[in-house]
Amino acid sequence: MIIKTLSEIKSSEITKETHFKNRRKLIKAAAASTAGLLLPDISQAAKAYINVPIGKYSATLGVTDFEDAANYTNYYEFTTNKTDSTVLARGLKTTPWSVTIEGEAEKTGTFQLEDILKNNLLEERIYRFRCVEAWSMVVPWIGFSLGKMLKQFKPTSKAKYVEFTTLYDPDIMIGQRSKVLHWPYVEGLRMDEAMHPLAFMATGMYDDILPNQNGAPLRLVVPWKYGFKSIKAIVKIRFTEKMPLTAWNRSAPNEYGFYANVNPNVSHPRWSQSRERILGASIFTPKRQTEIFNGYGAHVAKLYAGMNLSKSI
């Protein structure tokens, strides 16, 4: 378990693990079956996500039902509607996929995702995930440590920040035809945030490859920050001396800061962040109190020592 406060979440507040466990059994049975009768189209890539060990930074929490986590997403590259990206993202081709490394690092260039995966051992991390619109979920992400991956490219002493960029393809990502944001989507972290062991690069979830609508084939997961920091479909990573100008901070600087740490004491200009609703829970289930740093404060609060968390949002 991450920290004591996470254990205080009642199991009744989070969707039961039954669907998750049953799905896990189904996939394992399909992989073991030579005839593949239960899931005949299971790919070699999907099989790689079965029996992935649970990482030491995972929380012991009830897991949100897969259908809820996979079908209620914020993916503005496709739509501002939280349910339609499940269909709209189907046309995105995620293989082959490459990631370009730029900036203040010794090893730069374009790398195939499969080569990056070969150098990083997969593990599962069960993380609470908090959206800025006051809903949260618990997802078993599969991937690898962001910091360990970044070290492969040998960032120099000038690298104070790391910037991430999403694919730009308005022919497929039809939401990029709108002016709701400046495209392509850009996010960033301070280097010490990126190197923190909780920061994670996900390539799968729920014992399978990452669905397109959840950010396939490569997305960032930063569990102590609001969900918009966890950028999807990453095609470029740049090490820089200066703080990156991120998508939401650029479009609405009065509403979205660079850090975006979960903080119940700082309200969004249009709504309170003090309470949250568990995704998939009954409408009769009371909202729960939002925790500072999404409950991961024991691990990450020291990153912000001396900072005014009401101003450095």
The answer to whether residue 36 scores a pLDDT higher than 80 is: no
Which pLDDT score is estimated for 42? 54
Which pLDDT score is estimated for 21? 58
Number of domains in the chain: 1
The one-character DSSP state at 225 is B
Q: Is residue 312 part of a domain?
A: no
* H helix intervals, 37-81: 44-47, 66-71
Number of alpha carbons in the 13 Å side-chain half-sphere of residue 242: 3
Q: Is residue 23 part of a domain?
A: yes
- Average confidence score pLDDT of the chain: 89
Which pLDDT score is estimated for 6? 43
291 confidence band (pLDDT: 50, 70, 90) = very high
What's the pLDDT tens digit per position in 80-110?
999 999 999 999 999 999 999 999 999 999 9
Q: Is residue 309 part of a domain?
A: no
Over pLDDT 70: what percentage of the chain?
86
Average pLDDT over residues 239-268: 96
What's the pLDDT tens digit per position in 155-205?
999 999 999 999 999 999 999 999 999 999 999 999 999 999 999 999 999
**What does the chain come to in residues?**
313
Rounded Cα–Cα distance for residues 131 and 139 (Å): 13
**Better pLDDT: 26 or 231:** 231
**Better pLDDT: 253 or 28:** 253
Q: Is residue 210 part of a domain?
A: yes
Over pLDDT 90: what percentage of the chain?
78
Q: What are the tokens at 235?
A: 């095609």
- What are the residues whose beta carbons fall under 8 Å from the beta carbon of 288, sequence distance 6 or more? 9, 13, 275, 276, 277, 278
Which pLDDT score is estimated for 1? 32
Q: Is residue 154 part of a domain?
A: yes
Which pLDDT score is estimated for 119? 93
The answer to whether residue 295 scores a pLDDT higher than 50 is: yes
The reported pTM is 0.89
Kind of pairing, strands 275-278 and 135-145? parallel
- Nearest Cα neighbor of 232 from 208, 201, 253 is 201
Which pLDDT score is estimated for 23? 57
- Nearest Cα neighbor of 199 from 223, 228, 217, 235 is 223
* Burial group, residue 27, by CB count within 10 angstroms (0-12, 13-18, 19+): buried
Question: Do 273 and 1 meet the contact criterion of CB atoms below 8 Å apart?
Answer: no
The one-character DSSP state at 65 is P
CATH number of the domain that 108 lies in? 3.90.420.10
Report CA-CA distances (Å) from 26 to 33, 38, 42: 11, 7, 11
Q: Is residue 216 part of a domain?
A: yes
Q: Is residue 98 part of a domain?
A: yes
Rounded Cα–Cα distance for residues 25 and 108 (Å): 41
- What are the residues whose beta carbons fall under 8 Å from the beta carbon of 243, sequence distance 6 or more? 160, 161, 188, 190, 258
Find the domain containing 213 and state its range: 4-304
Question: Do 66 and 202 meet the contact criterion of CB atoms below 8 Å apart?
Answer: no
Q: Is residue 189 part of a domain?
A: yes
The answer to whether residue 117 scores a pLDDT higher than 80 is: yes
Average pLDDT over residues 243-272: 95
139 confidence band (pLDDT: 50, 70, 90) = very high
- Nearest Cα neighbor of 140 from 121, 127, 122 is 127
